[in-house]
Structure 1
């Protein structure tokens, strides 16, 4: 049991990503329902509503003021589901707020379970989606007030997130979002990445215009821009970002080979130098690919893990199924494959040609491909 006192910080036992909190009899029933429906949710409620099965169900009881419980929950969990009046929750979490990029999702449910309200971090924190999921479980009404959701337009801070896209900078998220919801002219520049980003069963609104390149968009008048590209912009092209957000789709594939025992530092240095030479963004790298005899190569694994890239390896037979420009008898002698970096990059990307055929640098060989969409 958690005993909450003014001078002490509550010690919680976190197991899931979400915390469900209740302080009333009816709220406890809702909390128990959600605890059963969401496998990654931890339930907390006041000990005076104990039912006897809490230990078996990993439910945590507390005594004292819930106001003392919220700070550690806010700090630890991805999201909070709170069955308390909206005004009380606002007052209790107000001192805890930092930034929408780090604050957890907060969803509030009324005591009868009729309304589920997305209160905090609706987009980046995922409160809007969580609200819909909870409302479906409780057969309640989801309350979402985010303008882009209500208007069914592009949520600038979440654009492409389901594909793994990341924005380069958060600086212009707010003004560009304002242009979108106010139906001003918005240029969508897409040079790479998945094309199925419009999620609604209706045409793209007339205030949006799609361009295949930054150069073409710069020739047209617009109030804001959403730019999707894997390459670095030139100084001239950066003008489009005066009120724009730059998104990095995951489209770059690195094919690599290296000598045994090559350090992660050397591998990463070659990668960074190569991407800089090609004027490509490291944020758009999706995978590092090699031959299966390198699947335990510590340097390659470290670099992939550090950057959150997929680490893929192929057998010599599969690699040899791809035609390459310069097959090597020496490479075949040691690996059973006539080439490693080139076919590995081509296999994963599905590209017809390489952005960089092959570069040898010290103990590392690298090829680069772009996933076509």
Structure 2
């Protein structure tokens, strides 16, 4: 939704501009300040018929971060000024419509696209995000490698899957790699690490065994999403303390999942142990707990054993991976106007590489589509099953699926339920 805000003297100009901006533009009733405050969290863009100083004072208390702030521009007699968010494109568009001069501070906010990518993948960025963003913004070729096949949003056209002359490379992977210049690594949290130990093993021993997942298993420990073990080991101080130590050094927290031994005994593993079976009642703790944890946290996604068990100093560790699959968001646009659209629905539309729907439904959300988003009128399920990030939009209560889809499916209320 684009809000066009103006005082009484300029409401006519605001209404004229809203008509030119399309169905997503609204002119809220009432005074400018309370209207902006009321609608702020639901705005994709805001046009303020105010001088720059007044506009800055109005929006300053509302600004949070560049990923969530709407694009904000202000309009005076001669200029359209980009103030906040990814506002340059909106400033140019409004200036063209009003025959005024755009005032912008730079190119599109590519770094926000990279930030959003990190957030969407629940990932850690390793490298110079600002330098990579600057290269993309300058139009330089940037290679993106996505070996595990994560569903990605639409990216700028100079971010390509291959190319020998690229100045930068983006790698999305949970495997360990040496840091290199002009390489931005995005490390998603995909790994569940299973841990077993003898009674009394120290946190130092558990930590040393975890390090083997990097040294021998080739996994990036920042990709750990959770730890898992048998219920009998839930209060083992060495395991509990090692999990806390991991959180301290990585500035994050990870859950310690625990499972009954009879549940672990049902999990097939490549390296069962008769010794462990005789003492624990299950042929595996580390591998079985990792796989069982991945099953639970994957919510039906495919899983695999990313690292078979390593044993060191009476501690055994293994890692399972939740494999990515496509994402399909089912979004009902409802009978309501665009100003009633929920922020979550708009966020799902922006994160999609493909938006599918009737021409009328696509037109209703056109202002939300970022550059490079592909529009289709059918085939949403097939696209998601092939690993794409897809938003399926429809009027009314929303689209439904008759057949199961091999993808993560989220149902998003597209309009406020009032």
- TM-score, normalised with respect to structure 2: 0.50
Alpha-carbon offset, residue 187 of structure 1: 0.9
Structure 1 residue corresponding to 2:167, chosen from 223, 226, 236:
223
1:262 paired with 2:220, answer: no
- Which residue of structure 2 aligns with residue 331 of structure 1? 276
How far apart are the structure 1 equivalents of 2:89 and 2:136? 8
Give the 3 Å change call, closer, same or farther, for CA 174–182 of structure 1 in structure 2: same
Match of 2:305, SS?
coil
Structure 2 residue corresponding to 1:359, chosen from 296, 310, 317:
310
Q: Unaligned 5+ residue runs, structure 1?
A: 1-25, 38-84, 90-107, 111-115, 133-140, 212-216
User: Is contact 1:349-1:370 (8 Å) kept?
Assistant: yes
Alpha-carbon offset, residue 205 of structure 1: 4.2
Deviations 1:336-358 (A, max 9, x none): 32211111122233566533322
Q: How many residues align?
A: 249
Written as runs of structure 1 = structure 2, the 5 A alignment for 1:1-373 is 110=58, 116=59, 126-130=65-69, 143-145=84-86, 151=108, 155-169=113-127, 172-192=128-148, 195-198=150-153, 204-210=155-161, 220-233=164-177, 241-306=180-245, 307=247, 308-350=253-295, 353-373=304-324
How far apart are the structure 2 equivalents of 1:223 and 1:118? 39
Give the 3 Å change call, closer, same or farther, for CA 261–205 of structure 1 in structure 2: same
Deviations 1:181-229 (A, max 9, x none): 233322111133x62231x5xxx44322125xxxxx6xx2213221212
How far apart are the structure 2 equivalents of 1:126 and 1:161? 13
User: Is contact 2:208-2:312 (8 Å) kept?
Assistant: no
User: Is contact 2:303-2:321 (8 Å) kept?
Assistant: no
User: Is contact 1:290-1:314 (8 Å) kept?
Assistant: yes
- TM-score, normalised with respect to structure 1: 0.55
How far apart are the structure 2 equivalents of 1:161 and 1:361? 35
Give the 3 Å change call, closer, same or farther, for CA 323–279 of structure 1 in structure 2: closer
Give the 3 Å change call, closer, same or farther, for CA 328–273 of structure 1 in structure 2: closer
Give the 3 Å change call, closer, same or farther, for CA 88–264 of structure 1 in structure 2: farther
Give the 3 Å change call, closer, same or farther, for CA 243–325 of structure 1 in structure 2: closer
Q: Over aligned residues, Cα RMSD in angstroms? A: 4.1
User: Is contact 1:319-1:344 (8 Å) kept?
Assistant: yes
Q: Unaligned 5+ residue runs, structure 2?
A: 1-30, 42-50, 72-81, 91-106, 248-252, 296-301, 325-418
Give the 3 Å change call, closer, same or farther, for CA 313–164 of structure 1 in structure 2: same
Alpha-carbon offset, residue 290 of structure 1: 0.9
